[in-house]
Amino acid sequence: MDIAHLIQTVAIYALPVIFAITLHEAAHGYAARHFGDNTAWMMGRVTLNPMRHIDPMGTILMPLILYFATSGTFLFGYAKPVPVRFDKLRNPKRDMVWVALAGPAANFVQALAWGAGLYLLQALGVNEVFFLKVCQGGLLVNVVMFAFNLFPLPPLDGGRILVGLLPHRQAELVSRVEPFGFFIVMGLVVIGVISTLWMHPVMELTFGLLNVLLMPLAFLLGFS
């Protein structure tokens, strides 16, 4: 394992990853508070302090172990989930959708911001590779988080959105998967199903949408 390459990778992705997970989790907490559940707010989780959202195992140890074990070909990690009492929401079934969607939405907005930052650096003539790589890393990290979290299986955000949108009977059946959902998702990741059938097409569509939204800025800066 090339230690120098590891240090370079960590340096490039550290800031984007910290922002991505912090704003993702804080957005869940803020949305929950907006719709009537103060649990996360009272526990100090509606904050931009990354230390409140970092999980030592999921955010630091697991990604490092996977990086070394797979020579950097497969990475996975998670933040400390924001506690949400769906029964405390004013309209639990409907508001669950908005609370779940808030996290991926925060990642999409961040991806848009990193993309805009990349255009601005290039327009200003900044040729420092590190800064350009950080912006590219921020764009990639947030698109990955956006796509992965929208996978329609609880406890991922996409699963919660699906439960909120389905009729009560079907929603109850899907929600029963949640205790085993993490292990099912991990199994699907390992055998490549999520990567092939979900991540690649959703990420491609997301990058396409981001390009469309960034077109006006690119035009103003003379890139098109």
For the question of residue 172 being annotated catalytic, the response is: no
Task: Give residue 72's identity as a one-letter amino acid code.
Answer: G
* DSSP single-letter state for residue 224: -
First and final CA of the chain: distance in angstroms?
Answer: 41
Give the single-character DSSP code of 91.
Answer: S
Distance CA 120, CA 127 (A): 11
Q: What share of the chain is helix, strand, coil (3-state, %, to 5)?
A: 75, 0, 25
17 Cα distance to chain centroid: 9
| Choice among 25, 128, 172, 178 that is catalytic | 25
The residues that are catalytic are: 25
